[in-house]
Amino acid sequence: MERNKEHTFTEGTKKHFPNNTNATSPLTASKLVAKVNLLSSTSVPNRISTLSSLANRHKNDTQIYKQVIDAISGILPSGDPSEFYLRLHKILTNYLGCSFTAYGLYNEMSGCINLKLIDKMDNVFVSKVFKTDSSNPVYQAFASKSIITKNNVDFLNLAYFHNHPVTILPMISVTKCIGVMVIADDMDESHKKLCSFVANYAAAIIDNFTLIESANAHMNTDALTQLFNHRGFQECLTKELKNADESGQDLSIVMLDVNNISKINRELGHAKGDEVIKLVAEKVKHNIRKSDMAGRYGGDEIAIILPNTDVDEAKYIAEYITYSLSCCFVDDVGPVKVSVGIASYPECAKDQEKLLILAEQAMYISQAKGYKDGMSAIISSSDFNFWDDIALHSYAEVLSKRHSQMGVNFEEELLKKFNNEQINSVNHLSEIATSLAGAIDAKDPYTKGHSTSVSRYSEALARAINLPEDEVERITLGALLHDVGKIGIPENILKKPDRLSDDEWQIMKQHPVIGADKVLMPNEALRDLIPIVKYHHEHVDGTGYPEHLKGDEIPLAAKIVAVADAFHALISDRPYRKGLSLDVACNILQEGAGKQWDTNLVRKFIQIAPALSTKI
């Protein structure tokens, strides 16, 4: 049973931008403002006279435009691009009433515009538009440097936004288009001109950030470890992967994470933590070959590039490094221990980002497995099953940390993997469905184990009414995946501890359709589960959702899952109440029989409920 407006979900993400506020900006504030004025004069001709003309017709517009320009001028000193965009979004929604805004910068290497959309509730969604999709209005606006309007946003391929009119504005810096800005709702010509100015102003700001980044491009050495810093490491890896591709050779990445570094920093001070990291860096430098390269990949992570090295050779090198570290004692710390993950090209992945993700995932699995005979567990990404619980948790942890850099999240990758999985048996299907359901339940701390419990209750009820065995199995699996559509619901809605707003509730009510269309439909082996997932929130009196079916219009399997779902929700603890007793829960089912739930199914379920529930 869906708690009425009492859930949440967040799909949050912040992109990674350089945040060096101490760097001297090559473009001063006064020069930047002059540059913006020049930009606006070329992209919005005769802006002052246009605004003056508008003032004669719409006096309120002049005040709004002044407020918008004053507001965006106030965010000029910010050194954080992500904060700049968020504040820009707030200004546009507050003063112009936009339903949502989106921005995307063009990545020349990938030939892709990575869009980040923020709605009025600050939910964040991401979408990609590739250069190859020349018919997409986003790319058309970018390529032509022209403003394009559309009556809907289907071209963004997002589940919740359909019939919103939008204006797509090129972000032009001097003469170069660096991306686009998308602003929702109807917009007259004067507003378009204002928003075009804002888009170009944002482009100029980005140019300033780029100039700062370029000024620091030569600084590829980490000051603490004297290894490559993150930028230098990525550049080396790009070069070495190209060499490996051209020569047909293997390449491996070894990722080391210093264990308990947070505790060391907290209890012994950051100087002691730095001492440990420097020691690890020294041992790495002394124990790798001349052709190998190492870099400080993160705060306490060191990564090694091993050209012409397969998995087995990489494991040997990693074992020697960890052995060397285990022989080193640091005062007040003891032996230095690390977690070790390995990923190899081309065996594990060919894409640079994917290779790094797999190395990090393996490193987290190593951390979870701990030590054997005093030595770290050295894990390669080829050593584990993707759907293993530890592997799933590790994968989620990596993607959550790197989401802002990559523009993807755990749910998207999980769904892609699920739909590409080659199902070879009923048991295999059940295993990955259980893992998928568990990953979704984990997003809501108040419903852990909900899907497996609803599946168990549904199976019991199906057997109690003597359904055929193959139908019982179908219902059991469908119940396990009944909430799979929550993979597309923002976490700030799923995790909200109190009642949802009307807008939030409308988003929550879309999860049955998302589950049916986005998860089950692409997978032929699961399409017969669609009626269960799509209609388990329909009510027999027609007041349910998504299609307001009633009575016999609702499939029997969906009715069974609806009763099981409601019962588990009633007896489960929630942040706003303790789980109800068996008797109280059964009384509520009886009161709703013939209205929300099928009367005969409720009667039969109440008979078997005492044997199912562990609540007293």
Residues 567 and 420 in one domain: yes
Q: What is the pLDDT of residues 166-177, one digit of tens each?
A: 999 999 988 889
Cα 72 from Cα 124, distance rounded (Å): 21
Q: Which residue has the tokens 């609540």?
A: 615
Q: Select from 176, 209, 242 the last residue of a domain.
A: 209
Q: How confident is the model at residue 515 (pLDDT cuts 50, 70, 90)?
A: confident
SS3 content of the chain, % helix, strand, coil (to 5): 55, 15, 35
Q: Is residue 216 part of a domain?
A: no
Residues 204 and 250 in one domain: no
Residue 21: inside a domain: no
Chain length of the chain: 616
pLDDT of the residue at 38: 46
User: How many CB atoms sit inside 10 A of residue 10's CB?
Assistant: 17
Per-residue burial over 144-153, b if 16 or more Cβ lie within 10 Å, else e, is eeebbebeeb
What is the per-residue pLDDT across 260-281, written as a single tens digit (0 to 9) for each?
888 888 888 888 889 999 999 9
Whether 551 shows a pLDDT value over 80: the answer reads yes
- In this predicted structure, the answer to whether residue 148 has a pLDDT above a threshold of 90 is yes
State the alpha helices, DSSP H only, in 370-425.
389-406, 410-420
> Do 490 and 567 belong to one domain?
yes
Together in a domain, 62 and 176? yes
Q: What average pLDDT is seen over the chain?
A: 79
pLDDT reported for residue 466:
93
Q: How confident is the model at residue 380 (pLDDT cuts 50, 70, 90)?
A: confident
At a CB cut-off of 8 Å and minimum separation 6, what does 450 contact?
A: 441, 444, 483, 568, 569, 572
Count of domains in the chain?
A: 3
Confidence band, pLDDT 50/70/90 cuts, at residue 80: low
pLDDT average, residue stretch 39-65 = 51
Q: Is the pLDDT reported for residue 585 higher than 50?
A: yes
Do 436 and 448 sit in the same domain of this protein? yes
Domain end position, chosen among 405, 433, 465? 405
Q: In the numeric block, which tokens belong to residue 420?
A: 């590409």
**Quick one: tokens of 571?**
């007896």
Instruction: Tell which of 373, 405, 437 closes a domain.
Output: 405
Residue 428 lies inside a defined structural domain of this protein: yes
CATH of the domain at 51: 3.30.450.40
Q: Which residue has the higher pLDDT, 25 or 460?
A: 460
Question: CA-CA distances (angstroms) from residue 77 to 28, 212, 538, 615?
Answer: 10, 14, 52, 58
Average the pLDDT over 471-477 and give the result. Answer: 92
Q: Is the pTM of this model over 0.75?
A: no
Average pLDDT on 600-606 reads 94
pLDDT of 488 strictly over 90? no
| pLDDT reported for residue 8 | 34
DSSP string, 230-276: HHHHHHHHHHHHHHHHHHT--EEEEEEEETTHHHHHHHH-HHHHHHH
- Of the listed ranges 363-367, 395-399, 570-574, the least confidently predicted one is 395-399
Q: What is residue 385's predicted lDDT score, i.e. its pLDDT? A: 61
Instruction: Residue 565: give the domain boundaries.
Output: 409-612
150 within 8 A of 158, measured Cβ to Cβ: no
Q: Is 586 helix (H, G, I), strand (E, B) or coil?
A: helix
**Whether 336 and 481 share a structural domain:** no
Position 473 in a domain: yes
For residue 242, the domain's CATH number is 3.30.70.270
| pLDDT band (50, 70, 90) for residue 250 | very high
| Three-state secondary structure call for residue 325 | helix
Over residues 5-38, the pLDDT tens digits come to 433 333 333 333 334 434 334 444 444 445 444 4
Model confidence at 75, pLDDT cuts 50, 70, 90, reads confident
Cα-based distances in Å from 216 to 19, 181, 213, 405, 535: 12, 28, 5, 19, 56
